[in-house]
Structure 1
């Protein structure tokens, strides 16, 4: 038995957070003692396993600011991560540290402990922000250097896809001799097979039996407007009868603390209004796992709009639910979606997406056929058992 401590900056709802929860569950299933320490954990905005007693979660350092007058978010995140690392060193015993997203705390951990450190790199942090001014470039320079240097100090570096592994190599030039291991996120099938909830009229108006689904955080980089614009073009391709049956559900991760979530949600609603689609589009915010499963199982297809996505767990969830995926042909979906077999990979263009979506309206059996192949693919490639085996080998290696 190994005592594993996970360090995560903000245990909300998202792909990175889902991976941490699944990793903790995987190691616990192998008999390891697992603890999750995070700087922020809101019981009203988190995965249920973190509040129902399934996992032990400690929050430390939430009193530290997450920004300075709306700026310097990266610096504040680094400081908060250093604080929870210090909390760990002073108050907890451990054998392995699984550090997620932010590597800045690794030098402190390595200096004061002799334990194995595993770092999971979802994507280089320095590529997630723009450098539009000289002041921003000056501010980011030491943080970028710290990210690269501290990442290289980990005993094991994991990434979520071959795409991210290649970006890692191209970005961290001083780590050219380091080869990160690819640990694909997976689905805990038993958790995903639990009951769903009924979709009420507040989600789908009566008679809307063909609906398209978008699931992503309300962030501009997720290109959610593409789903709405494609849906608007789809309207022009449908008969009045088919259009009356058709709907779009925009289900997005939403945190009221994040200004961009609030702003972008409003922007998308205004876009829908400008296209006169209000009666055919439903916006949902931070849906429960049960509702997400229900939405996935009934949709005509998942419309997945980000470009250069690092991995993207939602297409895998959709395929396991037996539904096809229309995704941008870049990044992680190139490793998860098989074009013309489990869905369609298209350029990030509204007309191209609308053409793909039309296929599922014209031939309602196509979605079932692609969905079956998608589920078979997920069972082979992204099983929780394979994920657990690989992760167990990482934390027990000598």
Structure 2
């Protein structure tokens, strides 16, 4: 059993990264210590409060250039003692790889949820520039970051990507060759796959309420769907962090004249599961999702998914079998909603096929890959060190 430092810079949300960290802690056969530089126990999953969490350094969750630079400097200076740990696992969705520069003494794993999207996801990058305007300082910082990031990625002994989409993003960014990375899907517990209940009388859009989730598209699609005679409701449920407050307000304004839309922003795990179980179908409007846990959570309870035909959903949703993959415009989204509204038997059949498919995306499968990779890189590092120690000992004997 290896002693693992599992590092993620900021634990303050209920996102797929925090969920994965929690499941690794619960399920890994190794001794896991969660390390972070920002922990808000009241904002993230309450189960994390019972985990062994250590705070190292202090970083802000603000995404200004100044705060990002300060966070990068903090991470680059963190050092983990080999006497305390057998391996360092870095949950990567941006700046985390900077830890590699001072920690080559340990076996290093990159658990990659995405390379920094503002640099490597061209769709995200273009939208970000459109929102904030192009700035010379940003373009210069981006070029410098690419150089540092590529150097950091070369130091990893193992890279596990959460989807083929994420792996392709890393390959396209020149960070690593395709054959040097493993894909393992975070997902759902096998025990969570249970018989489907009612077909449901509303559509359900779960997950964090933030601009990257493209929720305005779902609202526009719902407007078209109702105009075509659709009668089901729409529930949008998920947390709103501080920086997403203005976005949430804009969504409320957009939906103000529509009957049938309900927002829920204080949602327990039990409530979320009830909402999955009672819906007709799960909606995912994100424009280029890295992986997407919500289709899997819907499949586990026999619900089809309507998702944008981009990114991670292509890997879990089979179009026409377990749901629909549509172009990112309101009309095709609305048409798929109307089909599932008018044909509940189709929704039920798709949900049943989804339950068969979701067995490929379990935490059990993911953790097996994770634990085996930890064993491999720890053993590999030990073999490298062993000849070095023998050579040093021989040199001492020769001098005597």
- 1:148 has 2:128 as partner: no
Deviates more, 1:285-294 or 1:296-305: 285-294
Q: Which residue of 2 aligns with 1:46?
A: 44
Deviations 1:168-192 (A, max 9, x none): 111116x4486211111121244x4
Measured after TM superposition, the shift of residue 66 of structure 1 is: 4.2
Deviations 1:221-264 (A, max 9, x none): 221111111111111122xxx63xx21111133212xx2x1111
Q: Which residue of 1 aligns with 2:103?
A: 109
Equivalent pair of 2:171/2:178 in contact (CA under 8 Å): no
The 1:282–1:186 alpha-carbon spacing in structure 2 relative to 1, beyond 3 Å, is same
Tell me how far apart the structure 1 counterparts of residues 193 and 349 of structure 2 sit (CA, whole Å): 20
Q: Which residue of 1 aligns with 2:53?
A: 57
Tell me how far apart the structure 2 counterparts of residues 286 and 160 of structure 1 sit (CA, whole Å): 27
Tell me how far apart the structure 2 counterparts of residues 77 and 213 of structure 1 sit (CA, whole Å): 36
Name stretches of at least 5 consecutive residues in structure 2 with no aligned partner.
195-199, 380-400
Map 1:297-308; keep pairs closer than 5 Å: 297-308=277-288
1:81 to 66, 72, 75: 75
- 1:251 has 2:231 as partner: no
Q: Which residue of 1 aligns with 2:365?
A: 386
Tell me how far apart the structure 2 counterparts of residues 80 and 322 of structure 1 sit (CA, whole Å): 45
Equivalent pair of 1:75/1:143 in contact (CA under 8 Å): no
Tell me how far apart the structure 2 counterparts of residues 280 and 35 of structure 1 sit (CA, whole Å): 45
Tell me how far apart the structure 2 counterparts of residues 286 and 61 of structure 1 sit (CA, whole Å): 30
Tell me how far apart the structure 1 counterparts of residues 177 and 193 of structure 2 sit (CA, whole Å): 42
3-state SS of paired residue (2:103): helix
Map 1:173-252; keep pairs closer than 5 Å: 175-176=176-177, 179-190=180-191, 192=192, 210-238=201-229, 243=231, 246-252=232-238
Tell me how far apart the structure 2 counterparts of residues 176 and 372 of structure 1 sit (CA, whole Å): 37
Equivalent pair of 1:249/1:283 in contact (CA under 8 Å): yes
Equivalent pair of 1:310/1:332 in contact (CA under 8 Å): yes
Tell me how far apart the structure 2 counterparts of residues 272 and 75 of structure 1 sit (CA, whole Å): 37
3-state SS of paired residue (1:104): helix
Deviations 1:147-171 (A, max 9, x none): 1210111110111111221221111
The 1:212–1:177 alpha-carbon spacing in structure 2 relative to 1, beyond 3 Å, is closer
Tell me how far apart the structure 2 counterparts of residues 89 and 47 of structure 1 sit (CA, whole Å): 29
- 1:120 has 2:111 as partner: yes
Q: Which residue of 2 aligns with 1:319?
A: 299
- 1:296 has 2:301 as partner: no
Deviates more, 1:348-357 or 1:118-127: 118-127
Measured after TM superposition, the shift of residue 350 of structure 1 is: 0.6
TM-score of the superposition, structure 1-length normalised? 0.84
3-state SS of paired residue (1:365): helix
The 1:79–1:21 alpha-carbon spacing in structure 2 relative to 1, beyond 3 Å, is farther
Tell me how far apart the structure 1 counterparts of residues 66 and 246 of structure 2 sit (CA, whole Å): 19
Tell me how far apart the structure 1 counterparts of residues 326 and 286 of structure 2 sit (CA, whole Å): 11
Structure with the greater alpha carbon radius of gyration? 2
Deviations 1:269-302 (A, max 9, x none): 11112xx11x411112252211111111111101
Equivalent pair of 2:238/2:265 in contact (CA under 8 Å): yes
Tell me how far apart the structure 1 counterparts of residues 161 and 178 of structure 2 sit (CA, whole Å): 16
Measured after TM superposition, the shift of residue 23 of structure 1 is: 2.3
TM-score of the superposition, structure 2-length normalised? 0.84
Q: Which residue of 2 aligns with 1:202?
A: none
Deviations 1:338-375 (A, max 9, x none): 11111011111111011101112111222221111101
Tell me how far apart the structure 2 counterparts of residues 263 and 143 of structure 1 sit (CA, whole Å): 29
Name stretches of at least 5 consecutive residues in structure 1 with no aligned partner.
195-208
Q: Which residue of 1 aligns with 2:389?
A: none
The 1:371–1:76 alpha-carbon spacing in structure 2 relative to 1, beyond 3 Å, is farther
- 1:264 has 2:247 as partner: yes
Measured after TM superposition, the shift of residue 327 of structure 1 is: 0.5
- 1:8 has 2:2 as partner: no
